[in-house]
Amino acid sequence: MELTEDDQALLDGRHGPAAADAMGLVLRFAEAVGATRLIACDSAHVDGCLYHGQASLDFVERFVALGGRVRVPTTLNVGSVDLIHPELFIGDPALGAAGQRLMQAHVELGCTPSFTCAPYQTLLRPRFGDQLAWAESNAIVFANSVIGARTNRYGDFIDLACALSGRVPDYGLHRAENRRAGVIVEIHGFENAGPDQAGGVAVAAGLSVGRACGDTIAAITGLPARTSEDDLKALGAAAASAGSVAMFHAVGLTPEAPDLAAATGGRDVPVVARLGPAEVSAILASLCTVADGAALTAVALGTPHFSLGEFDRLMPLLDLEPFSVPVYVNTGRHEWERLVGDGRAARLEAAGVTVVVDTCTYVTAIIRDLSGAVMTNSGKWAYYAPGNLGVDVAFGTLAETMLSARAGRVARA
């Protein structure tokens, strides 16, 4: 392992015991993945503030006791409770208290209390070429693919160690030669797709990439021209849910793929999937565990967290009120502050919509009635909720979910 003078200073404790401990962990991790040197990271995003048991808290409390402070700008992923609306939590009070303490302990280390799974929607959005130590699967994919920043899939504990040391191992997607596509996913038949349909195509493409490509980077061709950043967000989230995806190239849409040759580095790579309207419909139908017309007990939106642009699309659909079932929307504090400031938070509340911040409804106890199916426009929520919550799921477009919220059953546009 090649250590710089700064690396050695960290390891020797010249920047404090917390930084030294973190540096030791990063070095051992680097050796495990075969890296021969460390590089400076520009920012970190820590996933470990979601409580999974006492070990989660013990790890962070040790660094707090050592007086640790993160050495790079560090955002925090969702926690176990909504600290702004604590009354929404309906789980075990002891678990809620431990989860809240875990979130606060990270703040004491100097992390920004963002508590969002979409840190790229905050003021701390990274830039093209930045070297990151990011956790949270959808954020990793978005940073690599849509922004062109560079991060590997850093999991709980090592993400915080990188933040406290300001170092990441130089391997994997930090290196340009490892960021080329090795397979192609072709999409056809959606050249004139509208916004709602483009979103569905993106989710289907993401699930296909996750299932077919594993951790191989895919170049995706033929996405609708109206594919938005929010659609690419949904694509990456679905891909990372269904497989170990850390990056994709959307040819003509993402910064490292102006054309197919750039995405593949000029290599001849195989086509592993071809998706037309029939295939896309089948993939999206596979997310549904209930039939059209099935009774609903809730609608859940915002996984990953809703952006301001997605709220722009939601607000006109509030005219469908009154809703027959509760509507939950997960979002980040950055978006919540804007909603409060411009009056949209009050409009959402008046329509009976519950806005959840700091956490997500598929990882913590917030939805009050899970006796029936829940409808969502999120591929990630639909993929995880049956296992996490033991609930039946219906997937649809944003318009369909809100029509269904009014009807109290799965309705299609």
- Give one DSSP letter per residue of 214-247, joined into a string: TTS-EEEE---TT--HHHHHHHHHHHHHHS----
Residues 6 or more apart whose Cβ sits within 8 Å of residue 145: 232, 236, 247, 248, 249, 250, 254
156 and 224 belong to one structural domain: no
**223 within some domain:** yes
What is the C-alpha separation between 79 and 92, in angstroms, rounded?
15
Of the pLDDT bands very low, low, confident and very high (cuts 50, 70, 90), residue 74 is very high
Q: Cβ-count burial of 392 within 10 angstroms (0-12 exposed, 13-18 middle, 19+ buried)?
A: buried
Average pLDDT value for residue range 187-203: 93
The pLDDT assigned to 195 comes to 86
303 and 395 belong to one structural domain: yes
Mean pLDDT rounded to a whole number for the chain: 97
Of the pLDDT bands very low, low, confident and very high (cuts 50, 70, 90), residue 131 is very high
Structure tokens at 325: 């079932």
The answer to whether 163 and 72 are in contact (CB under 8 A) is yes
Question: Beta-carbon neighbour count of residue 40 at 10 Å?
Answer: 14
What's the predicted TM-score (pTM) here?
0.97
What separation in angstroms does the CA of 333 have from each of 33, 84, 214, 283? 35, 9, 33, 33
58 and 154 belong to one structural domain: yes
Structure tokens at 313: 């699309």
Of the pLDDT bands very low, low, confident and very high (cuts 50, 70, 90), residue 365 is very high
Q: How far is CA 105 from the centre of its chain?
A: 22
11 and 68 belong to one structural domain: yes
19 and 134 belong to one structural domain: yes
Phi and psi at residue 355, to the nearest 5° = -95, 125
The pLDDT assigned to 194 comes to 87
The whole domain housing 110 covers: 5-175
Strands 373-376 and 296-306, by their bridges, are parallel
Q: What is the end-to-end Cα distance of the chain in Å, rounded?
A: 59
262 and 379 belong to one structural domain: no
Report the percentage of the chain scoring pLDDT > 70: 100
Helix 195-213 to helix 277-285 angle (10° resolution) is 80
pLDDT tops 90 at residue 196: no
What separation in angstroms does the CA of 39 have from each of 30, 45, 52, 147, 231? 11, 17, 30, 20, 32
Average pLDDT value for residue range 54-83: 97
Number of domains in the chain: 3
Which of 175, 210, 232 is the endpoint of a domain?
175
**240 within some domain:** yes
- 373 membership: H or E segment, kind and range: strand 373-376
The pLDDT assigned to 192 comes to 87
Give the gyration radius of the chain's Cα atoms. 21
